[in-house]
Amino acid sequence: MALSPFAQTTGEPRVLDFSVVDPAKVPDWDHRLLAHPEATIFHTAAWAEVLKQAYGFSAQYIVQESRGDRIGLLALMETRGMLGQRRGINLPFTDSCPMLLPSGESAEEVSWGGRDGPETFTTASAGLVAQARRLGQARRWRSIEFRPASRPAADGTASVRFLSHEVSLTSSDTAQRDLCLPATRRTLRQAQSSPLTVTVGLDRSFIDAYYQLHCDTRKRQGAPPQPYGFFLELERQLLARNLGFVVLATQAGRPVAGAVFLKFGRRAVYKFGASDASSLAFRPNQLVMWTGLRHAAEIGCTSLDFGRTSTDNLGLRQFKMGWGAVESHLAYQCYDIQTGQRLFLDDRTQGWQSRLFRRMPVCAGRLAGTLLYRFAA
């Protein structure tokens, strides 16, 4: 019987081969990913197609093989800035897409020497990191960004830091509710006794309803909305294949809150959320999140990743923790391809651009998002 992808092999020393592929052109890619316990929706060919079709990025996925068996994966996309400079990112518009490695692999080290001293990765597959640098040099990338870093730098610093939250999903409503903090249980009861109704769907009408809320919410947050074409690709590539769903809360037939959830195997991800500010007294976000948690459990998921949170966003952090989520640190590392020097990044949650986008009409914000997002990866 053939080994599953990323299988642990034993016996004679490996002869490692590396290849750079577009996962959409590899037969049965997503099905084979299911064999790896750490695979998420962001490792799939379907997600790669969303990024390629919506933004024009180029897939440069590094696959590590031993005697024909796939044993490692580093997912990269090549992006271009406004001035044409190329970068490698793992992956753009993706909170976390860790390298997939065989379980039990012993640690190795690879060092990128910089002017301020060497940066050392410790990872179960140093070859993937070294190969990524070679790829970046060959394709003349300016930098490469790992999301997440394989480990923090020796001095504990990172290019940029976020927080991550994940909650276990249970088969019982009661057990799931018991994981929640008292304040969350209280606001959930308020939402469930309100005049709101909630539905789960997969089709274009749910995406369209959500997108209207999304545009208004992004304006309040001081950021342009993602292009409508991006959400169309979500529907085509993911929702149409049962790799995600949309939850909508409505009041008298009018959508007042919504969320987009993605799923792969037994892992679900909360990717986007939005709401109408005039209806927040009814706690629609709590009702949407609860419905998403329970629906994900019903379709076989055992955990839900809430996505990244800026370290200074206390309100969002408390909202996620209220569902019983376990908090962890999420570090990104970005390196200059040529020198190996670590580069520092801004999480871009605040600043002059936020004030500008808050003042823009929604239609102008949508146009800005359509024009700028492919360069803001």
Write the pLDDT tens digit of every residue in 241-257. Answer: 999 999 999 999 999 99
Looking at this protein, which amino acid is placed at residue 292?
G
Same domain flag for 150 and 181: no
Find how far residue 357's CA is from the centre of its chain. 23
Q: Which of 247, 279, 301 is the last residue of a domain?
A: 301
Task: Give the pLDDT mean for 15-40.
Answer: 89
Span 30-63, pLDDT tens digits: 998 998 889 999 999 999 999 999 999 999 999 9
> Is residue 311 domain-resident?
no
Which H or E element spans position 245?
strand 244-251
Reported pTM: 0.89
b or e along 142-165 (b: 16 or more beta carbons within 10 Å of the residue's beta carbon)?
Answer: ebbbbbbbbbebeeeebbbbbbbb
First to last CA, the chain: 41
> Is residue 40 domain-resident?
yes
Task: Give the pLDDT mean for 348-377.
Answer: 81
Same domain flag for 27 and 59: yes
Q: With 70 as the cut, is the pLDDT of residue 142 above it?
A: yes
Tell me, what's the pLDDT at 345? 85
CATH code where residue 131 lies: 3.40.630.30
> Is residue 104 domain-resident?
yes
Give the β-pairing of 117-123 and 108-114: antiparallel
Instruction: Report phi then psi at 4, rounded to 5.
Output: -70, 160
The residue ranking higher by pLDDT, 115 or 365, is 365
Same domain flag for 138 and 175: no
pLDDT band at 5 (very low <50, low <70, confident <90, very high): very low
Tokens read off for 148? 């997440």
Same domain flag for 153 and 192: no
Half-sphere exposure of 232 (CA within 13 A, CB side): 7
Span 289-312, pLDDT tens digits: 999 999 999 999 999 999 999 999
β-partners of residue 65 are: 17, 70
pLDDT band at 212 (very low <50, low <70, confident <90, very high): very high
Same domain flag for 130 and 262: no
Tell me, what's the pLDDT at 84? 85
Domain span including residue 198: 170-301
pLDDT band at 10 (very low <50, low <70, confident <90, very high): very low
Tell me, what's the pLDDT at 349? 64
Same domain flag for 232 and 148: no
> Is residue 145 domain-resident?
yes
Half-sphere exposure of 306 (CA within 13 A, CB side): 27
Same domain flag for 144 and 22: yes
Same domain flag for 143 and 177: no
Span 189-205, pLDDT tens digits: 999 999 999 999 999 99
Quote the number of domains for the chain.
2
Same domain flag for 180 and 261: yes
Task: Give the pLDDT mean for 59-74.
Answer: 84
Task: Give the pLDDT mean for 107-126.
Answer: 54
Tell me, what's the pLDDT at 293? 98
> Is residue 316 domain-resident?
no
> Is residue 373 domain-resident?
no
Same domain flag for 21 and 139: yes
* Under 8 Å between Cβ of 146 and 90: yes
Please give the mean pLDDT across all residues of the chain: 87
Tell me, what's the pLDDT at 153? 55
> Is residue 141 domain-resident?
yes
Same domain flag for 119 and 177: no
> Is residue 251 domain-resident?
yes
Same domain flag for 146 and 280: no
Tokens read off for 236? 């085509």
